[in-house]
Copies of this chain bind each other. A is one copy, B any other.
Amino acid sequence: MEIRERILVAAAAVFAEVGFRGATTRRIAMEAGVNEVTLFRHFGSKDRLLGEAIQAANSRPSGSPLPERPTNPRKELVAWAREQMIRLRVNRNLIRTCMAEVAERPEIVERPGGQTTIAATQLRSYLTQLKKHGFTTARFDPATAAPMLLGALFADAMGRDVMPDMYPNDPDAAIRTYVDLFLRGIGVARPAKRRTKEPV
């Protein structure tokens, strides 16, 4: 790995753990295994370094999208939700720190919602397709329903470790519960699976 890349990764990791002020250049240098002055040779200032590091960390590719044509809503949504949850958990500290610091430093700390907005768009489209292909006839707006499932996943990922009493079941069981409740909430019943198989 190139030194510059190593510095960026170290800076994002330290920031995620101890925030902007706690991410001293000394600490970042140690984490990256370089001399402190090297940070300034590559990036000029702490602001620039952390701005780039946070942006790079928030740009990691998201997982597989939902299929354009739904065939098995529960299976597809559970699989997708699992990937979203992994992404959220892996980035939990970074997301939490960005949320806490974005108001104070909008030019440096990127809004943490980029990937989540992409997920919301995907889910919205998927829900629209569910309606279009007759998996549900219930009345709901995909755009306003999507935040329900995403919100539950987000809160679980961000809060489970600090609010353990609120989450009595294990993480994967929780995902299945959220998806099941959500699908029923939007009128997609379990037997929907049989309905798609019959025309075949």
Which A residues contact B (CB, under 8 angstroms)?
17-19, 21-22, 93, 96-97, 99-104, 111-113, 116-117, 120, 138, 140-141, 143-148, 150-156, 158-159, 162-163, 165-169, 173-174, 177-178, 180-187
Complex Cα–Cα for A94 and B113 (A):
20
Nearest Cβ distance between residue A62 and chain B, in whole angstroms?
Answer: 14
Contact A156 B163 (CB under 8 A): no
- Of the listed residues A102, A174, A178, A183, the one surrounded by the most CB atoms of chain B closer than 10 A to its CB is A178
A167 neighbours in B (Cβ, 8 Å): 147
Complex Cα–Cα for A116 and B169 (A):
17
From B97, B116, B155, B184, contact of A166 by CB (8 A):
B116
From B97, B144, B145, B163, contact of A116 by CB (8 A):
B163
Complex Cα–Cα for A143 and B173 (A):
12
Complex Cα–Cα for A178 and B177 (A):
16
Complex Cα–Cα for A146 and B156 (A):
12
Complex Cα–Cα for A181 and B152 (A):
13
Contact A165 B113 (CB under 8 A): yes
Instruction: List 8 tightest A-B contacts by C-beta distance, closest first.
Output: A113-B163, A151-B155, A185-B185, A100-B100, A181-B185, A151-B152, A21-B21, A154-B155
A151 neighbours in B (Cβ, 8 Å): 151-156, 159, 178
A152 neighbours in B (Cβ, 8 Å): 147-148, 151-152, 155
Complex Cα–Cα for A114 and B109 (A):
28
Q: Which residue of B lies closest to A143 (CB)?
A: B168
Contact B147 A174 (CB under 8 A): yes
From B22, B140, B165, B185, contact of A120 by CB (8 A):
B165
